[in-house]
Amino acid sequence: MKQTGIWLDKDKALIVTLENEQEKFETVTSNLDHFRIHGGSGTRLKGGPQDVVQDSKYLEREKHQMKSYFHNIIPKIENSDALVIFGPAETNERFAKELHENYNALSTKLKAVEKADSMTDNQVKAWVRDFFKSK
């Protein structure tokens, strides 16, 4: 049985695959742009010129980059029999939603979506081993 755990955030996905007492570890980088949104005025005077922020443009670009990032992860996990997704923030939940919407065969293999803090590579491997031992 091929069991896969994916720790992911906006920067990278750490993929641990357990199969036949063997462990495989891969990293997929996201290549997401980190947008800095500057607000406020260009002057200290009240009512001075304001910077116009195009939030929708940045959010739309981030959405497309996120889809591309998720699309790059799929080939690494598509032959898995069981999946667990974990990580900080909401990237793990967005990936689970993407699986449910566009990758039905994989979403049925999803065992859990969990919150987890930043971890070292070895902590990620141990977390995945422990998760599947307890199931």
Extract the runs of DSSP E, i.e. beta strands, from 63-127.
82-87, 110-115
15 pLDDT exceeds 70? yes
Domains of the chain: 3-134 (3.30.420.60)
Q: What b/e sequence results for 47-83 when a residue is b if at least 16 CB atoms lie within 10 Å of its CB, and e otherwise? A: eeeeeeeeeeeeeeeeeeebeebbeebeebbeebebb
Tens of pLDDT, residue by residue over 49-70, are 555 556 788 888 889 999 999 9
Which secondary structure element, helix H or strand E, spans residue 12, and what is its range? strand 12-19
Distance from C-alpha of 78 to C-alpha of 96, rounded to nearest angstrom: 14
Determine the Cα–Cα distance for residues 42 and 40; give it in Å rounded to an integer: 7
- pTM metric for this prediction: 0.83
Tens of pLDDT, residues 62-100: 899 999 999 999 999 999 999 999 999 899 999 999 999
